[in-house]
Chains A and B, each alone.
Chain A
């Protein structure tokens, strides 16, 4: 499935490559539209696969009619396609886009190619928030994303504060701060888990590893809207991020209002992570793998990296989740297990390369 992602990005290189030493708007639009086409194709194809193989032509016909016609699918197949599979695929796309765009922005803002929502403890912050919402405000559905966002934002600020010593932030210090916040929040998660009744614990363990199976229509809608709006806001700040990527002092000298941009990016990235975690738990390493592959093929200009990472991230998680729910069908793996399987070795490679 990485092969799939990479192949798409390599094709993007011919239009988006750095032939003149810089990225243009035309190249950005070309790369993004190609990734969008690949994403739509992936959505169509992956909707056919699962524990129940659906007939190709009839399914595509049903999707193309936007659910108006069953095109010869049995009522069961029709329900699987439209009520189980497509919502899950759209959630995977929203989560992938959110995490990848947030990851790319964290990396630029914190000047660290290893920064990633999961590794920084931001996902865990959102998870603690979600669990507190479940335990204390269980009946009010919107409390989950709200608390997840609050948790993500709090974790972001704590990590940022811890990482910035008197000598500024070094990459290693940031990762250490992330580890500290992650382990602290993990114990908070264990604490909250013990407050739950035993029957729910297994499904929560699953959810903590990143699980796209259990969401509601309103959380799905929220995740999609947040993914689109959030990515747009981050992309709109991409030129400032380009300078922040070279250091806060340089950015300040060149005219960036550092405090304002940092606040916007922290806020929006936390919103993206919060809405993903509230609906699907902590899917790790998406924010690391995807921006890295995008930079490798399209360069470091955030005006192309951020939107392209969002599309590629959606594609990545859609494919990863299809593997997660088919590889040992009828049983399912949490999608986070698949993304970590790819992401952790890449992290080691990036760390060793320095």
Chain B
């Protein structure tokens, strides 16, 4: 569906992303992991056409991205970014209906159709925001706002989701719930998702493939069990890391060694399982 071939992106003389390739098929989730400044978010923005690559190209359904009009790209690719501050009194429903912009047929003007409204209410239910649809965005908690950003992206009905740290503001239960929602979308509706995250354990649990990045380079790409090895993780993150299997899911479980405390109760590190 979406494919990046040898993408290189420069900020002035600095190489932000250097010769990275990846491709994603319908129903897959790819997690991009790496330390701060590795170029993860930059790569994500390039996949949506938000940043021009200095070499290499992004293909959407086999066609170079720049051949499509902006509106068509947005019908296929939706982005979940960190939410910015909303300075005007916008309701949650109005915010989520923003996701229907690209599918509007009557140009940029025009009013939402009944279908648009139904889609919006459906994603509000999915993200457990239906009770809050009439509330103002700046009255919500950080976690609720982050869910509204996800709801808006889902409202686009795009086939590719690009998520930039979608769980950063969320508590444990909602972190897992967000990724479970994305997982369900990809299983049921064959949505492809690329997730930039710092949560290696969630990535291991929910993704089909992992891309490890460091200093703009792609260090490794493959199934979580192949990529999330102590050697590779140590190379990328510069900390000693313990990898064992998650007692319930069997996914690789990552523990930075310097943070291990003997007093930690068994079971206390199972996010979202209570």
Residue of B nearest to A112 (CB): B87
Q: Which of B73, B84, B156 contacts A250 (CB 8 A)?
A: B84
**Contact string, A236-267, partner B, CB cutoff 8 A, digits 1/0?**
11111011011101101111110001000000
**Contact string, A11-23, partner B, CB cutoff 8 A, digits 1/0?**
0000000111111
Q: Across the interface, which residues of B come within 8 angstroms of A261, CB to CB?
A: 108
Is B134 interfacial (CB-CB < 8 Å)? Answer: yes
Instruction: Indicate if the CB atoms of A239 and B94 lie closer than 8 Å.
Output: no
Q: Across the interface, which residues of A come within 8 angstroms of B71, CB to CB?
A: 255, 257
- A240 with B74, Cβ < 8 A, contacts A22-B97, A112-B87, A246-B95 known: no
- A113 with B88, Cβ < 8 A, contacts A21-B93, A252-B70, A254-B74 known: yes
Interface size class of B (residues with CB under 8 A): 35 or more
Is A24 interfacial (CB-CB < 8 Å)? Answer: yes
Bound Cα distance from A326 to B75, whole angstroms: 57
**Contact string, B99-124, partner A, CB cutoff 8 A, digits 1/0?**
10110100111111000000000000
Bound Cα distance from A81 to B41, whole angstroms: 65
Q: Across the interface, which residues of A come within 8 angstroms of B92, CB to CB?
A: 21
Is A235 interfacial (CB-CB < 8 Å)? Answer: yes
Stretch of A118-126, A136-144, A210-218, A293-301 at the chain-chain interface? A293-301
Q: Which of A24, A240, A253 contacts B79 (CB 8 A)?
A: A253
Q: Which of B74, B95, B109 contacts A303 (CB 8 A)?
A: B109
**Chain A proximity of B170: nearest CB distance (Å):** 19
Q: Which of B84, B89, B108 has the most CB of A within 10 A?
A: B108
Is A88 interfacial (CB-CB < 8 Å)? Answer: no
Bound Cα distance from A18 to B137, whole angstroms: 14
**Chain A proximity of B127: nearest CB distance (Å):** 15
Q: Across the interface, which residues of B come within 8 angstroms of A22, CB to CB?
A: 91, 93-94, 97, 112
Instruction: Indicate if the CB atoms of A246 and B111 lie closer than 8 Å.
Output: no
**Chain A proximity of B21: nearest CB distance (Å):** 23
Instruction: Indicate if the CB atoms of B111 and A25 lie closer than 8 Å.
Output: yes
Q: Across the interface, which residues of B come within 8 angstroms of A252, CB to CB?
A: 50, 70
Instruction: Indicate if the CB atoms of A21 and B133 lie closer than 8 Å.
Output: yes
Instruction: Indicate if the CB atoms of B70 and A295 lie closer than 8 Å.
Output: no
**Chain A proximity of B92: nearest CB distance (Å):** 7
Is B177 interfacial (CB-CB < 8 Å)? Answer: no
Q: Which of B74, B84, B93, B99 contacts A247 (CB 8 A)?
A: B84
Q: Across the interface, which residues of B come within 8 angstroms of A111, CB to CB?
A: 87
Instruction: Indicate if the CB atoms of A245 and B90 lie closer than 8 Å.
Output: yes
Q: Which of B101, B109, B110 contacts A254 (CB 8 A)?
A: B101
Instruction: Indicate if the CB atoms of B108 and A240 lie closer than 8 Å.
Output: yes
Instruction: Indicate if the CB atoms of A300 and B89 lie closer than 8 Å.
Output: yes
**Chain A proximity of B219: nearest CB distance (Å):** 28
Q: Which of B84, B87, B90, B134 has the most CB of A within 10 A?
A: B87
Instruction: Indicate if the CB atoms of B91 and A299 lie closer than 8 Å.
Output: yes
- A256 with B70, Cβ < 8 A, contacts A236-B109, A246-B95, A249-B81 known: yes
Bound Cα distance from A296 to B97, whole angstroms: 21
Q: Across the interface, which residues of B come within 8 angstroms of A250, CB to CB?
A: 81, 84, 98
**Chain A proximity of B69: nearest CB distance (Å):** 8
Q: Which of B73, B108, B133 contacts A239 (CB 8 A)?
A: B108
Instruction: Indicate if the CB atoms of A20 and B81 lie closer than 8 Å.
Output: no
Is B140 interfacial (CB-CB < 8 Å)? Answer: no
Instruction: Indicate if the CB atoms of A21 and B91 lie closer than 8 Å.
Output: yes
Residue of A nearest to B79 (CB): A253
Q: Which of B48, B102, B109 contacts A237 (CB 8 A)?
A: B109
Q: Across the interface, which residues of A come within 8 angstroms of B101, CB to CB?
A: 239-240, 243, 254-256
- The 7 A-B pairs at the shortest CB distance, nearest first, are namely A255-B74, A255-B102, A21-B134, A21-B93, A253-B79, A21-B91, A300-B88
Known: A22-B91, A246-B95, A252-B70. 20 other contacts (CB 8 A): A21-B91, A21-B133, A21-B135, A23-B94, A236-B107, A237-B108, A240-B108, A246-B84, A246-B86, A249-B84, A253-B79, A254-B101, A254-B102, A254-B152, A255-B70, A255-B71, A256-B70, A261-B108, A299-B89, A303-B111
